[in-house]
């Protein structure tokens, strides 16, 4: 029965296999070699090599298609050729020789290099066989080289339709093969492996070619968490190649990372995990992840190259409770490591070397005899003894694992660590290390400890070692005499480490220590006796002295814990502690043992750093060093008689001691009058009477506070924290007391201040405290400067609790809301800001403390429920902000006034029709004779001959022709069509005064007044800002800096062509450029003042003892490049920004504008650097940079929108009017820009055929409503001569146009008379105005009666340039009700030249007479001038002169002097 059952089972399995087609199909031939490329899809490759031919067979468990590709590196990109050679068989029997170029769709090889021999398929498998040459000679085929590893790529799909096969999706992968090595599918390579005692497993297999390695890692983490393996030369995270992965919702995430330290590895820029090789699963809580990589990825910087040498394999695992992401996942739960040879036959793993130690005898004679410290239960003891300049330690712990001690303020880091253990073989591992985090400490590069004795017995480990009290490793070793070294931290583990690392501690703690508990070592020069002494309670220094009455001398012994320079200074007790005015002695011992002492003085000229006295009044001195202390003994007269020395009398003096760890750099110059040395690292001060024989009172002690912070801390939501400082407060129910908590991540001093004015230190009511040896030092102070605050006479604050935990110092205190101390305490309800500060060092028992290394501020209102949240005013307006607001308000108001004025003026208009009877006149001479019937031509000749500046009379009134008779309109007839009010005589006089032109310039009195008002706005903004105190050096400097930014906005605004100035103020671009230049110069002055004030403030606030200046400090920032973007390096950005501004300023001077325009133009690109560096220099400057950038971008967009600055247009006319004049016509840019065209405007044009970068402005000769733009270019310079040359070669060229620009700020149709004056090519805008008046398609309401055009030209030839235009205008004007009088004056005509025909005249026009006639009978007159500067200025002066006489003249001139 049993046999029958087995048979049935076999038949069932076979029948199911046939039904499902699960069995692979047999090949048509046999093969010697076989390789399983992918086991999951049973993809296999078979081959034989005969001669230079390879026979290949392959199959895969796919019903659609299966493909095999040869590639150099196993990637579709196919390096190094850039493609992969692909062979594919489909279910339809299609066989293809194809290739991939990158990871794109497969492409058919145009040359078929294989012979297909067999194909077959069933419901599950596809099989194919082919032959090809090893080397085909086709650059689309890979050469097969037996004996080397070559990459294989496989892919497949379950379905296939059409002529192209679908994407393989997840069915793909890579492998490597050596076609020359015997390979069998039945004998896979033996996997290597490593199993951690915690259950983490890693296995790996090698490719036949030993080119690729396949890893599988697994750990039972209940299906939730991450796994990682790392490869390195040492079993340490630092510089290890790490592969981390996890599975979430059946999705495998694995990334190639690199560890730069003991933190989560960052992802490699290039992942070298083989594509398609990543797979994973979670079964029964067991997470398994597999992947492949090359033995040598080629990424030597971020991947470990696997060789035949043993490598460290590290494994780690941890949770994903807070989420896992690439480069960011939780810390490992556990880890392990081993050394493996990945390329060996079996790949077995071995633990790291168990012993790397040295043999150290157990020698109790080396043990220290001194102070013994212990933890609470006695399981860890430390004994130490100071011997000469060394200290000996013995650490004993109840463990047979590793033990460690470290020196710090109580926290694990930063700490100086010493760790050791004893291996089972008796050898000792001992290292000097440094901890900069809570992770495993790292070895010091400089090992400064020497092991003396070690033993392990009775379950205890003992290690004795020595080290210098003060080592030369200032960065990784603690100075034993460091006053902040208050704790010995200790730790132990039941397990030894290995040669590379050690496990996490099982027990740890700290023990208070005072290495200065005993008196400092005796210097070689003992202090004289009897003597009085000032001894620091922390034994950092002592000062003793003896007065000898016989010779009236005093001898000092100054001993300080340092090997650098030391100093004592004394002088008048002026209350606040300051070095200024103190008499100082500075001494040091050089490396050869030579002692130095210098008699110095601290005066204001020395910038706080003492300078050497002119006369050295030290009578004798000596010095020595011992036990890390420097001692200087010197003698001087009580009263030296030297004005630079302070006399010592029977009064209390201010006495200060200061020191640094370094020596002066100029100490070798014994007679040097200038010392160069670093600023002091520490100092203290007190009041002493050297004549007093009574012992000095002991230094004040702090307060021992037993309350806990948690029990006394303020409650509620009134709290603020920024990560660097915490402060909170609570007001009691009676509103009498307020409780404060202040806390900072430091073991030094912390402080808060209350300020009712601003967020500055000066004038603040401050509260400062620190904790030393369990005692709290706390002071109620007042900051009357930016130096150390002064202690209040009345201490109105009480400490409630204080603690130092986990590197944070926290102090809780209370004070009354109103203390009654009006001189020193701030009324809390008037407080606007809380300022806060901290430092890494404690202060001294005398209440002195070093400068802060961190500070900040926060707005507050104690009268509100949540003072911090509700009181914050946000951004405080700077002087620059206020200037922007003032100017924008003025511009908007002025714009509204101008709008209202325009509307009022328009309301005076009534309908008026032009009378234009049809007629045609072609004879200009006859036309002039008819219009100027009373003008005698002979008189004109006499005028030219006898009075070169005498013009014929002009009748400034209008009329029309009735047949051949000219009929003048009466004033009533003329005025009836237009009712408009004009300025009174008084207003005209005022205008005349405002438009007064300063000699040799085109600057008006009105311009000067307007800019003076702008400077007044600057001054108002400077004094109105509350962001800074303008009456302090620093406040003034910051306000001036913000004004630089505010002015810079208007510099940009006045330089943009489509600025608000045109629309709001009516200032055209050509006029705005004048103010642009003035603003640039004014901003340069403000910038210079900002620099001066900052330099003064910088110099005044340099640390005591510094010879630096503001410039030298900024220079050092450039040279030293200290730190990231911080408070100090910001000065460098400001300095460079100023340099950029100076460069722009210099190259914008007139000589460069006129002679080196390219340099002038290019230098203005530095404005980008000015704003960028200014924004880095001060965050508040960014607002001005953003506004300026917005103005510039809007201007560029408007220019693109309204012009053709990008897309050029073809000219319709491009021809020479004469040898030196070119007429240019081209279509207007865009239809929507037509309303922007006005008479008398100009455009910037560019001819790409000449230069793509060079643009020049030209007046528009065409009328505003013409369909095309006409300009006329006279060949005067290099560029314009190139235009003339181009016109000689071509009649149609490409042109780009930017514009129009310019603005006639008053409508000349409002005037009865219009006088147009031009010189030379300045006639072009005049022609445009004439066309607007007489030929415009849309007629305008006008009060014009007479238009007189006066054009001065040097010769008749120039006068003929635009004669066709004049003929057309005269032909039209004779039918209009406005009289047109054209006068062309030839200024260089010979005296005996015959009189020309009208409108040509010989001689210069008499402008004064013309203006007098124009303004006769107080009729309003509009004068427009365009021409040479002298002509413009002369006409300008005449016009303003008539204005001052009360005549109504409006003057406008055009200029191209940008």
Tell me the per-residue pLDDT of 892-903, one tens digit each, with 9 for 90 and over: 888 888 778 777
pLDDT at 1327: 86
pLDDT at 931: 35
**pLDDT, mean of residues 602-625:** 76
| Neighbouring residues of 15: CB distance < 8 A, sequence distance ≥ 6 | none
Summarize the chain as % helix, strand, coil (round to 5): 25, 30, 45
Residue 1098 has pLDDT above 90, yes or no: no
Residue 1307 has pLDDT above 80, yes or no: no
* Residue pLDDT, tens place only, 1132-1186: 788 888 888 888 888 888 788 777 767 877 788 888 888 888 888 887 888 888 8
Q: How far is CA 1041 from the centre of its chain?
A: 18
Residue 1211 has pLDDT above 70, yes or no: yes
The secondary structure of 273-306 as a DSSP string is BPTT--EEEEETTEEEEEEEEESS-S-TTTSPPP
**pLDDT, mean of residues 857-866:** 82
| Neighbouring residues of 1411: CB distance < 8 A, sequence distance ≥ 6 | 1315, 1421, 1423, 1435, 1438, 1439, 1442, 1449
When mean pLDDT is compared across 313-317, 373-377, 754-758, the lowest value belongs to 754-758
CA angle 255, 280, 271 (to 5 degrees): 20
Cβ proximity of 195 and 134 under 8 Å: no
- Between residues 872 and 1316, the one the model is more confident about: 1316
pLDDT at 1: 38
Local confidence band at 1084 (pLDDT 50, 70, 90 cut-offs): confident
Strand (E) or helix (H) holding 1346: strand 1346-1353
pLDDT at 262: 77
- Between residues 596 and 1305, the one the model is more confident about: 596
Report d(CA 526, CA 520) in Å as an integer.
12
pLDDT at 814: 92
Residue 802: count other Cβ atoms within 10 Å of its Cβ: 27
pLDDT at 592: 85
1098: β partners:
none
pLDDT at 726: 94
| Neighbouring residues of 641: CB distance < 8 A, sequence distance ≥ 6 | none
Tokens, residue 673:
């009058």
Residue 1242 vs residues 382, 1059, 1302, 1305: alpha-carbon distances, Å:
91, 16, 6, 15
Report d(CA 339, CA 348) in Å as an integer.
9
Report d(CA 553, CA 572) in Å as an integer.
19
* Residue pLDDT, tens place only, 1320-1331: 888 888 888 888
Report d(CA 728, CA 574) in Å as an integer.
36
pLDDT at 492: 94
Cβ proximity of 149 and 207 under 8 Å: yes
**pLDDT, mean of residues 1048-1061:** 80
When mean pLDDT is compared across 90-99, 631-640, 886-895, the lowest value belongs to 90-99
Cβ proximity of 817 and 829 under 8 Å: yes
Local confidence band at 456 (pLDDT 50, 70, 90 cut-offs): very high
pLDDT at 1132: 75
When mean pLDDT is compared across 1103-1107, 1188-1192, 1422-1426, the lowest value belongs to 1103-1107
pLDDT at 180: 81
pLDDT at 256: 94
Question: What's the predicted TM-score (pTM) here?
Answer: 0.45
CA angle 802, 807, 812 (to 5 degrees): 20
Closest by CA to 1083, choosing from 1040, 1125, 1126, 1116, is 1040
Q: How far is CA 19 from the centre of its chain?
A: 70
Cβ proximity of 66 and 153 under 8 Å: no
Three state DSSP letters for 1032-1043: CHHHHHHHHHHH
Local confidence band at 955 (pLDDT 50, 70, 90 cut-offs): very low
Residue 1253 has pLDDT above 80, yes or no: no
Closest by CA to 754, choosing from 762, 743, 742, 765, is 765
| Sign of the torsion angle spanned by Cα atoms 1269, 1274, 1278, 1282 | positive
Pairing state between β 226-232 and 240-248: antiparallel
Tell me how long the chain is: 1458
Report d(CA 191, CA 205) in Å as an integer.
5
pLDDT at 157: 82
Query: What is the distance between the terminal CA atoms of the chain, rounded to a whole angstrom?
Result: 114
* Residue pLDDT, tens place only, 524-574: 333 333 447 787 766 778 888 888 888 899 999 899 988 888 999 998 876
Closest by CA to 1350, choosing from 1416, 1409, 1275, 1273, is 1409
pLDDT at 1347: 87
| Sign of the torsion angle spanned by Cα atoms 1169, 1174, 1180, 1184 | negative
130: β partners:
56, 116
The secondary structure of 804-842 as a DSSP string is EETTEEEEEEEEESS-S-TTTS--GGG--EEEEEE-SS-
Local confidence band at 1130 (pLDDT 50, 70, 90 cut-offs): low
Three-class secondary structure of residue 464 per DSSP: strand
Report d(CA 857, CA 860) in Å as an integer.
10
Report d(CA 772, CA 482) in Å as an integer.
13
Residue 262: count other Cβ atoms within 10 Å of its Cβ: 16
Cβ proximity of 26 and 18 under 8 Å: no
DSSP state of 364: G
pLDDT at 749: 92
When mean pLDDT is compared across 200-209, 430-439, 469-478, 1153-1162, the lowest value belongs to 1153-1162
Q: Helices 1181-1202 & 879-907, crossing angle to 10 degrees?
A: 40
Residue 911 has pLDDT above 70, yes or no: no
Local confidence band at 2 (pLDDT 50, 70, 90 cut-offs): very low
The percentage of the chain sitting over the pLDDT mark of 70, rounded to a whole number, equals 79
pLDDT at 1165: 82
DSSP state of 1322: G
Residue 506 vs residues 379, 422, 434, 440, 509: alpha-carbon distances, Å:
13, 17, 19, 13, 11
DSSP state of 956: -
Cβ proximity of 1341 and 1375 under 8 Å: no
Pairing state between β 1421-1426 and 1313-1319: parallel
Cβ proximity of 1135 and 1114 under 8 Å: yes
Report d(CA 1167, CA 879) in Å as an integer.
21
* Residue pLDDT, tens place only, 233-271: 888 888 899 999 999 888 999 999 999 887 889 999 888
| Neighbouring residues of 737: CB distance < 8 A, sequence distance ≥ 6 | 731, 814, 815, 816, 817
- Between residues 615 and 580, the one the model is more confident about: 615
pLDDT at 449: 93
Residue 1185 vs residues 298, 838, 1009, 1051, 1127: alpha-carbon distances, Å:
46, 33, 28, 12, 20
Residue 1118 vs residues 662, 679, 1100, 1106, 1131: alpha-carbon distances, Å:
23, 20, 22, 18, 10
DSSP state of 679: P
Q: Mean pLDDT over all residues of the chain? A: 78
Tokens, residue 429:
């591992």
Local confidence band at 523 (pLDDT 50, 70, 90 cut-offs): very low
pLDDT at 722: 86
- Between residues 210 and 393, the one the model is more confident about: 393
pLDDT at 188: 57
Closest by CA to 397, choosing from 369, 416, 419, 366, is 419
| Neighbouring residues of 433: CB distance < 8 A, sequence distance ≥ 6 | 417, 418, 419, 441, 442, 443, 444
**pLDDT, mean of residues 1120-1129:** 40
pLDDT at 478: 82
Closest by CA to 1095, choosing from 1051, 1048, 1040, is 1040
**pLDDT, mean of residues 1428-1452:** 79
Closest by CA to 65, choosing from 99, 37, 90, is 90
Q: How far is CA 1422 from the centre of its chain?
A: 54
What is the dihedral angle through the alpha carbons of 568, 572, 577, 579, rounded to the nearest 10 degrees? -50
* Residue pLDDT, tens place only, 727-748: 999 988 888 899 999 999 998 9
- Between residues 745 and 1253, the one the model is more confident about: 745
Tokens, residue 281:
């699963």
pLDDT at 16: 35
pLDDT at 801: 92
349-350 β-sheet, strand order: 266-267, 251-259, 240-248, 226-232, 311-318, 334-340, 349-350
Report d(CA 226, CA 945) in Å as an integer.
107
| Neighbouring residues of 804: CB distance < 8 A, sequence distance ≥ 6 | 409, 410, 747, 771, 810
Cβ proximity of 874 and 1017 under 8 Å: no
pLDDT at 927: 36
Three-class secondary structure of residue 215 per DSSP: strand
pLDDT at 196: 82
* Residue pLDDT, tens place only, 773-823: 788 999 999 887 767 788 888 888 999 999 998 889 999 999 988 888 877
When mean pLDDT is compared across 499-508, 681-690, 1193-1202, the lowest value belongs to 1193-1202
Burial of 180 (0-12, 13-18, 19+ CB in 10 A): middle
**pLDDT, mean of residues 1388-1414:** 76
- Between residues 128 and 987, the one the model is more confident about: 128
Local confidence band at 400 (pLDDT 50, 70, 90 cut-offs): very high
């Amino acid at each position: 029965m049993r046999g029958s059952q087995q048979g049935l089972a076999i038949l069932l399995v076979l029948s199911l296999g046939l039904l499902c087609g699960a069995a692979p199909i047999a090949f048509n031939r046999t093969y010697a070699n076989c390789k399983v490329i992918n086991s999951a899809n049973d993809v296999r490759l078979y081959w034989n090599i005969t001669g230079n031919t390879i026979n290949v067979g392959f199959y895969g468990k796919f019903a659609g298609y299966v493909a095999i590709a040869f590639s150099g590196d196993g990637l579709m990109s196919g390096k190094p050729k850039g493609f992969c050679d692909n062979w594919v068989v489909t279910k339809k029997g299609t066989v293809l020789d194809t290739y991939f170029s990158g990871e794109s769709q497969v492409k058919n090889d145009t040359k078929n290099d294989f012979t297909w021999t067999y194909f077959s398929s069933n419901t599950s498998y596809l099989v194919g066989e082919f032959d090809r040459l090893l080397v085909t000679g086709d650059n689309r085929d890979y050469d097969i080289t037996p004996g080397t590893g070559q990459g294989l790529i496989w892919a497949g799909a379950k379905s296939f339709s059409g002529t192209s096969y679908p994407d393989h999706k997840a069915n793909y992968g890579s492998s490597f093969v050596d076609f020359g090595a015997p390979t069998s599918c039945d004998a896979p390579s033996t996997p290597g492996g490593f199993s951690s005692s915690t259950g983490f497993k890693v296995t790996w297999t090698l490719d036949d070619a030993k080119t690729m390695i396949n890893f599988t890692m697994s750990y039972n983490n209940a299906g939730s968490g991450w796994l990682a393996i790392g490869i390195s030369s040492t079993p340490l995270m630092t510089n290890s190649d790490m592969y981390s992965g996890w599975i979430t919702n059946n999705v495998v995430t694995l990334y190639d990372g690199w560890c730069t330290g003991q933190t989560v590895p960052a992802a490699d820029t290039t992942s070298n995990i083989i594509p398609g090789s990543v797979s994973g699963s979670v079964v029964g809580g067991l997470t398994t992840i597999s992947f492949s990589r090359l033995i040598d990825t080629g990424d030597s910087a971020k991947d470990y190259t696997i060789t035949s040498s043993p490598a460290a394999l590290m494994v780690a695992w941890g949770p994903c409770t807070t989420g896992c992401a690439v480069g960011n996942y939780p810390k490992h739960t556990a880890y392990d490591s081993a050394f493996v040879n990945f390329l060996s036959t079996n790949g077995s793993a071995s633990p790291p070397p168990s012993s790397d130690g040295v043999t150290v005898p157990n020698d109790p004679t080396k043990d220290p005899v001194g102070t013994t410290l212990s933890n609470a239960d006695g399981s860890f003891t430390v004994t130490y003894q100071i011997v000469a300049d060394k200290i000996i330690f013995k650490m004993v712990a109840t463990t047979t694992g590793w033990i460690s001690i470290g020196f710090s303020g109580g926290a694990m880091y930063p700490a100086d660590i010493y760790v050791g253990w004893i291996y089972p073989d008796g050898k000792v591992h001992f290292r000097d290390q440094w901890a900069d985090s809570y992770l495993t400490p790292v070895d010091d590069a400089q090992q400064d400890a020497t092991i003396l004795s070690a033993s392990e017995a009775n379950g205890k480990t003992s290690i004795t070692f020595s080290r210098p009290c003060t080592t030369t490793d200032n960065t990784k070793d603690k100075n034993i005499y460091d006053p902040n070294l208050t704790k010995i931290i200790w730790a132990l583990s039941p397990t030894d480490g290995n040669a590379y690392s050690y496990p996490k501690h099982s027990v740890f703690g700290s023990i208070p220590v005072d290495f200065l508990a005993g008196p400092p070592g005796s210097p070689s020069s003992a202090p004289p006796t009897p003597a009085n002494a000032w001894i620091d309670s922390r034994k950092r220094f002592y000062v003793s002295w003896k007065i000898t009455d016989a010779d009236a001398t005093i001898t000092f012994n100054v001993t300080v814990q340092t090997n650098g320079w030391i100093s004592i200074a004394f002088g008048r007790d002026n209350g606040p502690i300051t070095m200024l005015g103190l008499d100082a002695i500075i001494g040091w011992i050089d490396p050869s043992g030579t002692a130095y002492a210098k008699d110095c003085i601290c005066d204001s000229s020395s910038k706080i750093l003492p300078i050497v006295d002119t006369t050295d009044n030290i009578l004798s001195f000596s010095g020595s060093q011992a036990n890390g202390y420097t001692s200087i003994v010197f003698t001087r007269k009580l009263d030296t008689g030297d004005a630079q020395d302070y006399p010592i009398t029977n009064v209390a003096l201010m006495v200060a001691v200061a020191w640094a760890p370094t020596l002066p750099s100029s100490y070798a110059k014994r007679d040097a009058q200038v010392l160069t040395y670093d600023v002091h690292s520490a100092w203290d001060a007190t009041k002493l009477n050297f004549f007093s024989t009574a012992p000095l009172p002991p230094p004040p002690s702090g307060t021992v506070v037993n309350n806990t912070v948690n029990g006394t801390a303020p409650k509620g939501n009134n709290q603020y924290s920024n990560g660097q400082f915490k402060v909170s407060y609570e007001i009691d129910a009676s509103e009498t007391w307020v409780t404060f908590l202040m806390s900072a991540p430091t073991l030094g001093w912390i402080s808060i201040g209350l300020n009712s004015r601003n967020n500055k230190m000066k004038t603040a009511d401050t509260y400062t405290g620190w904790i030393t040896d369990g005692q709290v030092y706390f002071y109620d102070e007042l900051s009357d400067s930016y130096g150390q605050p002064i202690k209040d006479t009345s201490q109105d604050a009480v400490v409630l609790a204080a603690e130092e935990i986990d590197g944070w110092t926290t102090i809780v205190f209370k004070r009354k809301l109103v203390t009654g101390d009006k001189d020193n305490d701030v009324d809390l309800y008037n407080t606007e800001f809380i300022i806060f500060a901290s430092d890494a060092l404690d202060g001294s028992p005398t209440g002195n403390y070093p400068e802060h290394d961190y500070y900040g501020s926060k707005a507050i209102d104690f009268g509100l429920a949540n003072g911090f949240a509700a009181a914050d005013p946000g951004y405080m307006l700077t002087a620059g902000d206020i200037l922007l607001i003032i100017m924008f308000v003025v511009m908007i108001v002025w714009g509204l006034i101008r709008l209202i004025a325009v509307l009022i003026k328009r309301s005076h208009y009534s309908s008026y029709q032009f009378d234009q009877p049809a007629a045609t006149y072609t004879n200009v001479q006859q036309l002039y004779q008819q219009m100027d019937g009373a003008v005698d031509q002979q008189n004109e000749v006499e005028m030219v001959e006898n009075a070169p500046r005498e013009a014929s009379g002009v009748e400034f009134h209008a009329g029309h022709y009735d047949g051949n008779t000219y009929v003048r309109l009466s004033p009533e007839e003329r005025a009836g069509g237009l009712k408009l009010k004009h300025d009174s005589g008084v207003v005209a006089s005022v205008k005349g005064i405002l438009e007064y032109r300063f000699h040799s310039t085109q600057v008006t009195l009105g311009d000067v007044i307007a800019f003076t008002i702008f400077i007044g706005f600057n001054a108002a903004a400077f004094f109105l800002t509350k962001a800074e105190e303008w009456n302090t050096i620093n406040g003034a400097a910051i306000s001036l800096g913000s004004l630089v930014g505010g002015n810079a906005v208007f510099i940009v605004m006045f330089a943009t062509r489509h600025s608000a100035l045109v629309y709001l103020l009516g200032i055209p671009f050509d006029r705005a450029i004048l103010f642009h230049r003035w603003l640039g110069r004014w901003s340069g002055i403000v910038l210079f003042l900002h620099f001066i004030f900052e330099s003064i403030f910088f110099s005044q606030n340099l640390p005591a003892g510094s010879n630096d200046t503001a410039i030298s400090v900024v220079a050092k920032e450039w040279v030293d490049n200290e730190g990231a973007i911080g408070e100090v390096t910001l000065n460098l950005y400001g300095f460079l920004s100023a340099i950029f501004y100076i460069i722009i300023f210099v190259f914008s001077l007139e000589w460069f504008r006129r002679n080196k325009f390219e340099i002038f133009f290019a230098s203005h690109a530095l404005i980008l650097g000015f704003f960028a560096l200014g924004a880095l220099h001060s965050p508040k400057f960014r607002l001005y940079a953003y506004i300026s950038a917005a103005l510039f971008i809007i201007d560029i967009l408007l220019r693109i929108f309204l012009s053709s600055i990008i897309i050029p247009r073809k000219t319709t006319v491009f021809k020479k009017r004469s040898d030196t004049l070119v007429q240019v016509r081209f279509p207007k840019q865009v239809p929507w820009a037509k309303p922007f065209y006005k008479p008398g405007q100009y455009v910037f044009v560019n001819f790409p055929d000449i230069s793509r970068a060079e643009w020049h402005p030209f007046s528009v000769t065409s009328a505003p409503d013409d369909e095309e733009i006409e300009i006329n270019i006279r060949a005067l310079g290099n560029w314009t001569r190139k235009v003339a040359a181009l016109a000689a070669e071509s009649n149609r060229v490409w042109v780009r146009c930017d514009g129009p620009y310019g603005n006639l700020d008053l409508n000349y149709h409002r005037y009865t008379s219009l006088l147009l004056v031009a010189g030379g090519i300045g006639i072009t805008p005049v022609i445009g105005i004439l066309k607007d008046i007489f030929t415009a398609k849309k007629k305008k309401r006008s009060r014009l009666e007479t238009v007189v055009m006066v054009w001065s030209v040097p010769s008749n030839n120039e006068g003929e340039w635009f004669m066709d235009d004049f003929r057309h205008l005269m032909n039209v004007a004779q039918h209009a009700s406005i009289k047109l009088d054209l006068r062309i004056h030839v200024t260089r005509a010979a005296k005996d030249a015959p009189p020309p025909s009208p409108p040509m005249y010989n001689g210069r026009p008499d402008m004064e007479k013309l203006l007098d006639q124009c303004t006769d009978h107080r009729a309003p007159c509009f004068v427009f001038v365009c021409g040479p500067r002298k002509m413009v200025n002369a006409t300008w002066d005449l016009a303003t002169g008539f204005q001052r006489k009360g005549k109504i003249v409006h003057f406008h001139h055009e200029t191209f002097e940008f």
